[in-house]
A and B are shown apart, each in its own frame.
Chain A
Amino acid sequence: MEVLDNIINGFAVALSFKNMLFVFIGVLSGTVIGMLPGLGPISAIAIMIPLSYGMEPASALILMAGVYYGAIFGGSTSSILLNAPGVAGTVATSFDGYPLARQGKAGKALAIAAISSFGGGTISVFALMLVAPMMASFATQFGSTEYFALMFLGLSAISSLSEGSTIKALISAVLGLMIASVGRDLLTGTARFTFGSVNLLDGIDFLVIALGLFALAEVTNLVLSRNKKNNSKESEVGSLRVTKQEAKEISGPIARHSVLGFIIGVLPGAGATISSFLSYITEKRISKNPETFGKGNIKGLAAPEASNNAATSGAFVPLLTLGIPGSGTTAVLLGALLVAGVTPGPLLMQEEPNVFWGVIASMYFGNIFLLILNLPLIPLIAKILYIPKKLLISLVIVFCLIGVYGISFNTFDLYLLLGFGILGYVMRLLSFPAAPLILAFILGGMMETSFRQALTISKGDYLTFVQSPISAVLIALSVLSLLLPLLRSKMKKSQK
């Protein structure tokens, strides 16, 4: 019963006063940042990283995880109240949430969203407890060949699943890998693409990329929308009451989409965004009266909310057990863990069970905090939406600058940060997705190391990647996922 002991230990870690405080700070700041339209979960985590400097690994991870699922939770508030989703994972929430708010039932909609998120979060953390240990023990068989194939799958999946052109997403991913190749080579020590600069010898810090490409680039959204008045009034939240009948009605969707969301969250490349859309569509399809969807159906609100929160827990499975993030957001989370001195992977569960189980246990409490924060306090918290953006913009910029300065104490990195901010903005203007870039950048070093180790072991034989059965399956899946968009567009054309 070693696992049980560890779980109990994990709860003990999470229940310490200090860590409870960090869970609370994490979910609160996540909710607040996630609520701001324009700033997504990646920015939320990146902005909070400086706070974790020098923290114990378990506490840092607990804090950052709280920011992550707090941001998804908070995103639904602005989806419902303003029809302006704070994060992509809550776009589907606005389909039925905003109509409810316009009918004067904003309070009810917020309550249903909070309950569904809580349901999805709690059920999926339970699933995480069951699945993570199995995954970790399976992953101990992985060698460098399999790791490379797995990361390759993650990159191709995120590229083929991202919105818009797959080619553009792939270009973003390759750029991410290229940026990762700057600096001293890990295996031979050769300097690459440093142009003689000492500042580039250690490569580019991931925080520079995360804050620049996301937080700074997203600040421009705030700048351009600064004069827009929010089109709802503060006093219109209304009663939070959910009737027994309604509670009964949404319990089915919550259970269904918690499971669906969790599974999609585990898969590489997919995440809260895809799972919430998929759940919305499924719920509409199995509904007896699909015509009420989009007009304020509470099931249409409960389904994506349960699903996006479940997907966030699901995303922790590959992150904690394989050490390989499946999405842009978890990639930044991985970066935050490395800053804190935790190296996630199959051995984390055995070597640092208190970190591993402490974080998972903390998620239960995080979800409870979120429920408490979101139910009675929501009208109060929603006021954050009415803080003048003109003030907020400059504060976010300073936070980014100081976050980077705090790790390097070098103004060179700040110029780089600004450069990546501009790059991120240009990418948005030209519809290049930024998530594949950050994922590729974080995976870059690991990917190259395992690629070259695998080739060194096979004496330069590239067939090694298809000779191991696990890696062959993973590579086949990657190729399949890249061909998928091609097939889809072919099918569309032939239908015309």
Chain B
Amino acid sequence: MLNSMNRKVSIVIFLFSIIYLIYSYQIEPSPFAKIDADIMPKGLGYLLLILSVFLFIENKEETEQEKAKRNISKQEIGLLLLIVLFVLLYITLLEFIGFIIVTILFLTATSRMLGYTSWIRMFIIFGIFTLVIYVSFNELLGLSLPSGILPF
């Protein structure tokens, strides 16, 4: 019964809509509004519930092209997950260590991992890129990016 991808997805969406509905019934009523804040969420929750049932019943065969999209080697998936990890590190460290250092580290680490080899080019391109962004945010746009441990 759960042989097709679309059916599996429809179950996930079905469960999600139930959770969404539970939360939308907990929205506090306002004493003043006749048409209250919960009307749209409740409607949307039921709508999604119905759509997930439709998706389940429809049970459309995926085209080869659609299936091919998921044909990714384990190595590549590992690479994507590593990039996600790097982004997570970037976000976590941004405000502590500061924009310039974290950005240059992130750019170099990611590009190395993807297979770019020239250290000199990376150093020049990423250095200029990071400084241009930092200066233009701070001076031109007046938005100060975190300087972190650097004194400027």
Q: Which residues of A does B touch, CB under 8 Å?
A: 50, 53-54, 164-165, 167-168, 170-171, 174-175, 177-178, 181, 185, 187-193, 220, 223-224, 226-227, 388-391, 393-395, 397-398, 401-402, 405-406, 409, 411, 414-415, 418, 422, 425, 428-431, 448, 451-452, 455-456, 459-460
Contact A406 B107 (CB under 8 A): no
In chain B between 20 and 66, which residues have their CB closer than 8 angstroms to a CB of chain A?
20, 23-24, 27-28, 30, 32-41, 44-45, 47-48, 51-52, 54-55, 58, 60, 62, 66
Q: Which of A50, A170, A223, A451 lies in contact with B114, CB distance below 8 A?
A: A223
In chain B between 100 and 142, which residues have their CB closer than 8 angstroms to a CB of chain A?
103, 106-107, 110-111, 114-116, 121-122, 125, 129, 133, 137, 141-142
Q: How far is the CB of B23 from chain A (nearest CB, A)?
A: 6
Q: Which of B20, B55, B72, B88 lies in contact with A168, CB distance below 8 A?
A: B55
Q: What is the CA–CA distance of A223 and B87 in the complex, to the nearest angstrom?
A: 14
Contact A431 B66 (CB under 8 A): yes
Contact B60 A178 (CB under 8 A): no
B91 in the interface, Cβ–Cβ < 8 Å? yes
- Chain B residues with CB under 8 Å of A422's CB are 84
Task: Knowing A171-B51, A171-B55, A452-B39, say if A405 contacts B30 (CB, 8 Å).
Answer: no
Contact A411 B35 (CB under 8 A): no
Query: Given A170-B51, A455-B39, list of 11 further CB < 8 A pairs?
Result: A171-B55, A177-B44, A190-B27, A190-B28, A190-B30, A391-B116, A394-B107, A398-B129, A406-B143, A430-B5, A456-B33
Contact A395 B33 (CB under 8 A): no
Q: How far is the CB of A420 from chain B (nearest CB, A)?
A: 12
B13 in the interface, Cβ–Cβ < 8 Å? yes
Q: What is the CA–CA distance of A460 and B34 in the complex, to the nearest angstrom?
A: 8
Q: What is the CA–CA distance of A53 and B137 in the complex, to the nearest angstrom?
A: 10
Contact B80 A452 (CB under 8 A): no
Q: Which of A178, A227, A391, A431 lies in contact with B44, CB distance below 8 A?
A: A178
Q: How far is the CB of B148 from chain A (nearest CB, A)?
A: 13
Q: What is the CA–CA distance of A428 and B68 in the complex, to the nearest angstrom?
A: 12
Contact B125 A391 (CB under 8 A): yes
Task: Knowing A390-B114, A418-B87, say if A395 contacts B47 (CB, 8 Å).
Answer: no
- Chain A residues with CB under 8 Å of B44's CB are 174, 177-178, 181
Contact B27 A398 (CB under 8 A): no
Q: What is the CA–CA distance of A405 and B39 in the complex, to the nearest angstrom?
A: 33
- Chain B residues with CB under 8 Å of A456's CB are 33-35
Which residue of A is nearest B110, CB measured? A394
Task: Knowing A188-B33, A406-B143, A451-B40, say if A388 contacts B116 (CB, 8 Å).
Answer: yes
Contact B91 A394 (CB under 8 A): no
Which residue of B is nearest A53, CB measured? B141
Q: Which of A50, A53, A189, A411 lies in contact with B91, CB distance below 8 A?
A: A411
Task: Knowing A174-B47, A193-B23, say if A429 contacts B70 (CB, 8 Å).
Answer: yes
Contact B92 A411 (CB under 8 A): yes
Q: What is the CA–CA distance of A51 and B88 in the complex, to the nearest angstrom?
A: 24
Which residue of A is nearest B41, CB measured? A181
- Chain A residues with CB under 8 Å of B32's CB are 188
- Chain A residues with CB under 8 Å of B76's CB are 223-224
Task: Knowing A178-B48, A185-B37, A224-B72, say if A402 contacts B137 (CB, 8 Å).
Answer: yes
Q: List 10 contacting pairs A-B, 8 Å CB cutoff, sorted by A.
A: A165-B55, A165-B58, A168-B55, A178-B20, A178-B48, A192-B24, A192-B38, A391-B121, A452-B40, A460-B34
